[in-house]
Structure 1
């Protein structure tokens, strides 16, 4: 199945039978946030919340990309991951 929208790509990730790597999951998260909310202007999580910090940094990696560009990248990544996780 080839997703044609962000919503279809999100639905396809729910059909994955194996878990993508943490790196892949963070990239999906960052692209999704960029596609749906735009640039990350939130304050960096403090303390020892490493998971929140990693997610924050992943989203920051896509700063400056348009929502459309991030959505296209998200869809392409989901399509690539579907080959190995479905």
Structure 2
């Protein structure tokens, strides 16, 4: 299920579109992580420690962070390919 694209085969326009898509996905993940952090803080202030407000958001944040690392690697590859084409 890994989406391994060969960025060298893509056109310049497709690379720029891919870069924008990856940046948007990364931003969405960051916003979602911030929302979950807010849920954790709210839950801690209102109800103290509990499974619903602490453990579950922490697990989801871990999954989103792992996905964010793979998105960063893809974004780095796209930017390297764009830099290589702009310099040539």
Same fold (TM over 0.5): no
Q: Who wins on radius of gyration, i.e. which is larger? A: 2
What's the TM-score bracket when you normalise by the shorter of the two chains? 0.3 to 0.5
Determine which structure has the larger helix proportion and give its number.
Answer: 2
TM-score of the superposed pair, with normalisation by structure 2: 0.40
